[in-house]
Amino acid sequence: MLTVFGRAFRTPDLRNKILFTLAIIAIFRLGSHVPAPGISYQAVQACQKAASGNQSLLGLANLFSGGALLQLSIFALGIMPYITSTIIVQLLTVVIPKFEQLKKEGQAGQTKMTQYTRYLTIALAILQSSTLVTAVHNNPQSLLGNAPACANIMSDGAMPTLVIMVLTLTAGTGLIMWLGEQVTEKGVGQGMSILILTSVAAQVPAQIWSIREQGWGKFFLVVVMGLVILTVVVYVENSVRRIPVQYAKRMIGRRMYGGTSTYIPLKVNMANVIPIIFASSLLSLPVMVAQFTNPQTSANPADWAVWVYNNLARSDHPSYMIVYTLLVLFFTFFYVSITYQPDEVADGLKQSGSFIPGVRAGKATAQYINYVLTRITVGGAIYLAILALIPLIAFALVGANQNFPFGGASILILVGVGLDTVKQIDSKLQQHHYEGFLR
């Protein structure tokens, strides 16, 4: 592996791409530590230390921002507005005929959809930054923790400062989006995925170190379990169900064409990390609404707010785990059903003169693909549900942070993006007649 890295850096084109990507990552991490205007850096750091472990409400958003959200830096919103807008645009392709038509127009349509995604990202960034700034100004302890140090993190609460903070956070999101596109165009790997990987990986050392503080026994146990989980995740993420496809033979003049065989790859985890994001985001909404009613201090709190706060505000509560698991299972089937269309695949096979051996072309092919896809999705949904529960179980048994590095969204991002990036570097090395990473 080290020899291959050396060969990669000796290839001028690939070396420049890797160095450019590392430079963008450095800029991204630097922006995650620069405080936004009007924020007291010392107060934020004191709040972080005092309220450690009490950040479940914004845990997922803080994970994707690399810890920048709860530090209220200029990159506080991170990549989340872009992820949300991408998912929304992808879902709209099923609902809005114009988006569906753009999807079928190839590169030109994809460029137009990318432009819509950018506009929606900025709109969401304005909305989210306004909400975050308002919450921090009015009641910072409801978001950052109940420690006294969290009440004085804004050095200046004047209206012009609040407007500048909103504009700064929105501009930070726009800059992150631009940096990701630059990595895609001039660097290695998919830009946004690389930045998400950077955000998640940046928190792994601190998360592991927090476990070590509880004793070397627990530390080594967690590391061994993490290696086992990592091995299983790599195996499942590379698992593919291959549906054989045969091309019909055709006589053109005196030559025989076709007759070759290939396959349709169906991944076990076709939904990737999206169901976990959906489930976590949806569960955080009622908790956020309940917190605004102050069920702990209110004289006559609403019954629903008390129930939500007592059962869904704690990730180690059985009710939270049950609802979370059911949501992950539901969103796995939902996302796969709207993103993979067996009818379109069957039509494509029919138009290209290919078929699945033993299955009639057309509707029968679509039904067969849907049957196989449903069976695979059952296994994929159970796999995602178990993976999503690992951080919650670790939080309850080991006392680890909710964003446990060996489970949930963290491990899926680290493995998925890492494998994809390695494969891209490997393909570029093979173009230069060198041995790749994968043998």
Average pLDDT over residues 92-96: 80
Give tens-digit pLDDT for 205-216: 877 777 777 777
Q: For residue 147, what pLDDT is reported?
A: 61
- What is the chain's mean pLDDT, rounded? 79
- 153 pLDDT higher than 80: no
Where do the CATH 1.10.3370.10 domains begin and end in the chain? Answer: 1-204, 215-398
- What's residue 376's pLDDT? 93
Q: Which of 156-167 are b and which e, b meaning 16 or more Cβ less than 10 Å from the residue's Cβ?
A: eeeeebbebbbe
Cα→Cα distances 340→93, 94, 302, Å? 12, 11, 42
Mean pLDDT over residues 199-207, rounded?
A: 80
The pLDDT of residue 167: 92
Residue 203: half-sphere exposure toward Cβ, Cα within 13 Å: 29
Q: What is the pLDDT of residues 72-85, one digit of tens each?
A: 788 888 888 888 88
Compute the distance between CA of residue 435 and CA of residue 131 in angstroms, rounded to an integer. 51
Residue 333: its pLDDT value, please? 92
What are the pLDDT digits (tens) for 104-119? 777 788 888 888 899 9
In CATH, the number for domain 215-398 is 1.10.3370.10
Architecture of domain 1-204: Orthogonal Bundle (1.10)
Predicted pLDDT of residue 56: 47
**Sequential DSSP letters for 182-244:** HHHHHSSS-HHHHHHHHHHHHHHHHHHHHHHTT-HHHHHHHHHHHHHHHHHHHHHHT-EEEEE
